[in-house]
Amino acid sequence: MLGQQYFNIRTNLRDSVGALAQLAEQCELSSSSVTKVRNVLASLKDPFRFVVLGEAETGKSTLINALFGEDICPLEEAPALTPQIAVYQYGKEAHDFDVSDSLLECYRPLDVLQDFSVTDVPGDGSIKRHRQELIDDILPDAHFILVVFPVTDPWSPTTWKMLEALHQKWQHKIVLILQQCDRRSDEEIDAILEHLRRTSNNRCGTQFPTFAVSGKKALLAKTSGLDKVRLARESRISQLENHISQEINHSSVHLEKMDKGCVLAKTVIKEVQDKLHTPAEIIRADDELFATLEVRAEQQQARTEGKFEPVFSAFDTAFMNARLQTDRLLDKHMGVLSSLKAAGDLPAEVESIITTATLEQVKITCEEAALVAEADVRQLWDELSADMQRDFKLKLSVGKKGEPDWSGSRKRLVKHVADATEGELENPYLRDGLKKFFRRRRRRMISYLLLSLTLVAGGAWLWWQQLSPYDIAAFSASALALLMSVLEGFKGSARIRTFFSKELDAQRTRLHDTLRTAFNEGVDECYRDFVRLFDPIRKVCSKQREKYQPLLQASDELQGSFKHLEDELWKQDRKTSATK
């Protein structure tokens, strides 16, 4: 593409300016600032304007189509069929509009025409008459005036007279093109080019850039030609394209326009950033507030949890005291004679003593611990309120009195710990185990006792029958059975104590872990309640962030884009200065 380097920069600049225009409107800048940005955007959409002059049948249309690789201009026919100046420009749909008898606007849906417009002036010898005024209006806006000579007749007096009339005013825009060079040998072309340079120097006092081109071969090379490389080489159009590209890439006028666009953009970005300064500060303060809130809540929670070690010791002491009571109660049922009685409600009574005594102590101590947690949370609220007032001029207020009601959090903490303790103290395994051990011991003791009584009865009958020494053996066996009953009582008591002690030790460990976990969960919930107090502020801040964060980000990105474009333009300016 012609002037690719320039158009790359212009496209990036145009995209950035377009984004800036939208940002300026979103930030509700003044209408004058928005208009300035829109004007810059419009100016960056202006195409490079080519005016092609020359007599009829010089191959102007073919040259135009070859330069851009598109069917922009219809191939020239008889002069009478194209009496109007044709201006080819971009349009979403192809249509022609007769502005006047002398001017035709031709709209084509070709992307190349978004960057270039082409004015084809027919060479029918009538330039001096009704078209001269239009040419005077068109030429001042032209960036290139391509004067086309046919290689078969480069001495047209009409074209040279027109060139003499144009060069004084638009000399820097003029390029001479010797078209249809495929009709002459290289030696002939070089001679004709030299003639054109001498003639332009003699008649206009300057040598214009002069090129020989075969528009036909160049067009084939870019469209339907088979050997495109050979056709492009033989067309010699690359020299003309390079010249045009250099002029476009290093056009001081256009570079200056883009420089001014960047300067204006930086000014508007500064306005945007000033406009967004307050929201940016609010977002920064919000981030700092919530970061501080989370960190300080975690730190205070750790301090609160660290105060509960004595509480856990008090719970353990209460459990051990309850255990001593149950030990004394069990001792009453460990005697030989008492063991012959059924255990009855003893296991449930043991469990009740442990549960009641421990749970009572837990509730009392937990109330005190909850008050400590409440005091710590209240202290954190007071500290944060003072900090917010000092640093952000923000007064924290909740409820009618302006301060939170912590009683709900405190009660939930107590209930949570009490429920967890009660659940852990309820121990069906201990109750059922005691019932089983007492029942087994009683059954075995009664079995041996009944055996002893049976043997006594048998020994008495043997004695009455005077069956000695069988009666003595029976009485001895009876004594042994009685002894076994007593021994089974002692062994059963030992088994009960071992089971009871082992199970209470395990329950003590579980209870300690359960209480610690429940307390930590309860305290954690208290501090979550504290953090949730800030949810309304967090929601407002979130809406502010959703609204302004994209604008702030877009502002920063555009600032970086324009800085990069300034660097690119500065490099381009240096290259332009070097070429001069």
Beta-carbon contacts of 547 under 8 Å, excluding residues fewer than 6 positions away, are 279
132 confidence band (pLDDT: 50, 70, 90): low
What pLDDT score was predicted for residue 78?
39
What pLDDT score was predicted for residue 534?
80
What pLDDT score was predicted for residue 580?
54
Furthest-apart CA atoms within the chain: distance in Å: 175
3-state helix vs strand vs coil in the chain, percent to 5: 75, 10, 20
305 or 169: which leads in pLDDT: 305
Whose CA is closest to 319, among 349, 362, 348?
A: 362
Q: What angle do CA 202, 208, 210 make, to 5 degrees?
A: 110
368 forms beta bridges with none
Phi, psi of 534 (to 5 degrees): -95, 5
Which tokens in the block code for residue 566?
């300034």
d(CA 246, CA 309): 83
Look at the alpha carbons of 180, 185, 188, 190 in this order and tell me if their dihedral is positive or negative. Answer: positive
pLDDT at 579 over 90: no
Domains of the chain in sequence order = 1-45+252-275+535-580 (no CATH), 47-235 (3.40.50.300), 276-533 (no CATH)
Beta-carbon contacts of 8 under 8 Å, excluding residues fewer than 6 positions away, are none
Which tokens in the block code for residue 295?
């960190």
* E-only strand ranges, 215-359: none
pLDDT tens digits, 205-246: 888 999 999 999 999 998 888 888 999 999 999 999 999 998
Instruction: Report yes or no: 519 and 369 within 8 Å, Cβ to Cβ.
Output: yes
Phi, psi of 489 (to 5 degrees): -65, -45
Eight-state DSSP code of residue 54? -
What pLDDT score was predicted for residue 337?
64
What pLDDT score was predicted for residue 28?
87
Going by their DSSP bridges, the two strands 95-98 and 48-53 should be labelled as unpaired
pLDDT tens digits, 394-449: 677 776 777 788 888 888 888 888 888 888 888 788 888 888 888 888 888 888 88
Most confident of 292-301, 310-319, 324-333: 292-301
What pLDDT score was predicted for residue 511?
86
128 or 521: which leads in pLDDT: 521
d(CA 175, CA 52): 10
pLDDT tens digits, 359-403: 888 788 888 888 888 888 888 888 887 877 776 666 777 767 777
Going by their DSSP bridges, the two strands 85-90 and 103-108 should be labelled as parallel
Whose CA is closest to 209, among 217, 218, 201?
A: 201
pLDDT tens digits, 8-67: 888 899 899 999 999 988 888 888 888 888 988 888 888 899 999 888 788 888 999 999
d(CA 171, CA 182): 28
pLDDT at 126 over 70: no
What pLDDT score was predicted for residue 342?
63
Burial of 579 (0-12, 13-18, 19+ CB in 10 A): exposed
Going by their DSSP bridges, the two strands 144-150 and 116-120 should be labelled as unpaired
* Average pLDDT of the chain to the nearest whole number: 84
104 forms beta bridges with 86, 98
Instruction: Report yes or no: 86 and 19 within 8 Å, Cβ to Cβ.
Output: no
Q: What is the pTM of this model?
A: 0.63
